[in-house]
Amino acid sequence: MNLSIVIPLLNEEESLKELHDWIVSVMQSNHFLYEILFIDDGSTDLSWKIISELTSKNPNVKGIRFLRNFGKSQALHAGFKAAQGDVIITMDADLQDNPEEIPELYNLITKDGFDLISGWKKKRYDSVIFKNTPSKLFNWAAKKTSGVKLHDFNCGLKAYKKEVVKNIEVSGEMHRYIPVLAKNAGFSKIDEKIVQHQARKYGKTKFGAERFINGFLDLITIWFLSKFGKRPMHLFGALGAIMFIIGFGFALYLGIDKLFINKFSRLITDRPQFYIALTAMVMGCQLFLAGFLGEIMVRSKNNETRYTISEKINITI
């Protein structure tokens, strides 16, 4: 099978038939062996009924249905797990992504040897204030923190080599940063292609203002995992050491002052520096402990992985 087209959706009954016919036309004109995976993320309209009708008419169409809304990341994860094609294409179901882009994306993966190609909607038809400007800010921040040089991390139209989607786990709301997850998994041949963006034809966007907050928090998470995911002691240990040194410095100053300079002044516990010293030293110890626990967890996971691989090798032999 050449292509698996993974389409997560939520309440897109108006566009599904049109999108299906458009994709099938492109597949047939290019003689692709393909499958279309519709992932219904808890739709409350007639989306699942339409998907069922499409699967009965076209054997290349498959549907996965969530009983409630779990989010785009979980929908993509389910689609990646079920995909069988050599190249996996993801796209949105709202007709804003153009299926005519698929053949060129496929060639970039199969002929040019890229691991991942991300679409870049250079010209957008979304709201400037509520979507375009925040997206540009997030893309700039993601590029700076991750080191992946893309202009549009959140574009739904992407192409992946099969090995990429089978070796990454998309959870939470990490679908925005799949290129970063791929880079962290060791896939370095990542590039982008300018794609056509179309105005929404039916319905309305399913993402509200909370996606900006979630996107920012996910960006912090992905930055931490990229920098310190395998060496948490380097972060927590450094912060703990700094906090402990600050606290110890205040405690030393108070001790010297009380013993040798102002022997008969007020009690140490009546001075604000005492509480600064106490708080800083306690926080320093806690951060240090968090670093140790993180290192133990990482090493335990690595040992478990090595044991599993060794066990599989022995069974194979």
What is the average pLDDT score of the chain? Answer: 85
Q: How far is CA 158 from CA 88, 103, 186, in A?
A: 8, 12, 18
Sorted by sequence, the CB contacts under 8 Å of residue 234 that are 6+ apart come out as 228, 291
51-55 long-range Cβ contacts below 8 angstroms, 24+ apart:
51/16, 54/16, 54/17, 54/20
pLDDT for 308 equals 43
Compute the average pLDDT of residues 154-162. Answer: 92
pLDDT for 6 equals 97
Residue 199 has pLDDT above 80, yes or no: no
Q: How far apart are CA 123 and CA 129, in angstroms?
A: 15
Residue 184 has pLDDT above 60, yes or no: yes
Q: How far apart are CA 134 and CA 177, in angstroms?
A: 15
pLDDT for 282 equals 94
Q: Which residues of 35-54 are buried (b: 16+ CB within 10 A; e: fewer)?
A: bbbbbbbbbeeebbebbbeb
pLDDT digit string (tens) for 36-54? 999 999 999 999 999 999 9
pLDDT for 297 equals 83
Residue 311 has pLDDT above 50, yes or no: no
pLDDT digit string (tens) for 12-45? 999 999 999 999 999 999 999 999 999 999 999 9
Is pLDDT larger for residue 218 or for residue 209? 218
Is residue 179 within 8 A of residue 190, CB to CB? The reply is yes
What confidence tier does 211 reach under pLDDT thresholds 50, 70, 90? low
The percentage of residues in the chain with a pLDDT greater than 70, rounded to a whole number, is 87
pLDDT digit string (tens) for 260-294? 887 777 788 888 888 999 999 999 999 989 988 88
